[in-house]
């Protein structure tokens, strides 16, 4: 697949913090309940840490109890892609940024209506761009 944004490993390392690089470029994960957004209720758009592409909205965020930010749908489906992940002796569906290939997390079929999906996303893979009315809290349930 051709990416809109192609950078060398050295360019990514220079741009990202060590943790951001490990998760987004090396398909790592942050520990549960440690990321800055797992319990965030602020309104806004979650954008890719690496390229700034719009990925998820606080309108689709819910508390799944898993320790990572969870969304029942992407805000911009064209900016999110999925791939089969066979690591760690299991088969999961990996979620990637379509624009730059950043590893975001995984999607599972145990989410709420209306989609039944749970996009389990690493906080370091995204940055919250708060809406102009930043005092508004995002909903906890769809």
β-strand partners of 3: none
Q: Could you write out the DSSP letters of every residue in 80-127?
A: EEEEEE-GGGS-EEEEEETTT--EEEEEES---TTTT-EEEE-GGGEE
Is 120 a residue of the active site? Answer: yes
51, 97, 100, 120: the catalytic one is 120
Does the CA dihedral 24-27-31-33 come out positive or negative? positive
**Contacting residues for 51 by C-beta, under 8 A, at least 6 apart:** 4, 5, 97, 99, 100, 102
Q: Which residues are catalytic?
A: 120
């Amino acid at each position: 697949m051709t990416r809109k944004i192609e950078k060398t490993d050295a360019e990514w390392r220079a741009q990202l913090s060590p943790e951001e690089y490990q998760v987004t470029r090396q398909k790592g994960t942050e520990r549960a309940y440690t990321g800055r957004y797992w319990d965030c209720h602020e309104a806004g758009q979650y954008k890719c840490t690496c390229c700034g592409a719009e990925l998820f909205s606080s309108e689709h965020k819910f508390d799944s109890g898993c320790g990572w930010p969870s969304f029942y749908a992407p805000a911009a489906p064209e900016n999110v892609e999925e791939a089969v992940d066979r690591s760690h002796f299991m088969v999961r569906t990996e979620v990637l940024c379509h624009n730059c290939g950043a590893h975001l997390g995984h999607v599972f079929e145990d989410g709420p209506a209306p989609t039944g999906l749970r996009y389990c996303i690493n906080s370091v893979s995204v940055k919250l761009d708060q809406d102009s009315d930043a005092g508004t809290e995002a909903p906890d349930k769809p």
